[in-house]
Copies of this chain bind each other. A is one copy, B any other.
């Protein structure tokens, strides 16, 4: 065991897909792994800069594109119109995003398939993909709200 930052699933995914494991990509992977909620491209950029990782913006975006393609992160849109990314497993699922602190949780399919089928039936469309985003307060923020500081 000599690899220093090995157990990073993102790096693994890159490796398995046949991409080179370069320094910048590892750096991006680490940065993402440390975020447990969503993050924007500029969040990562700032984080990278504050640690002097010397990541160029282009590289950052390229890495993000790549990871999106591998379904290791998912690109989503916040209500504000910003683009954010969420680290996630490659299976189909959705996210609930805390509108206060940004924390996210995965949501397995909760009967949405039925809704999609119903929509398909009523509208006559052949639904190919869908996107469900839920915004609300996580437990923490609810607690903080009801118990004013």
Contact = CB atoms under 8 A, between A and B. Distances in A.
Contacts of A138: 123-125
A77 interface: yes
A96 B115 CA distance: 12
Interface stretch (A10-18, A27-35, A128-136): A128-136
Count of this chain's copies in the oligomeric assembly: 2
A38 B77 CA distance: 17
Interface stretch (A1-9, A43-51, A103-111): A103-111
A89 interface: no
5 contacts: A110-B118, A115-B132, A124-B139, A126-B137, A128-B137
B142 A126 contact: yes
A57 interface: no
Most chain B CB within a 10 A radius of its CB, from A75, A115, A138, A139:
A115
Interface string A86-116: 0000000010101100000101001110111
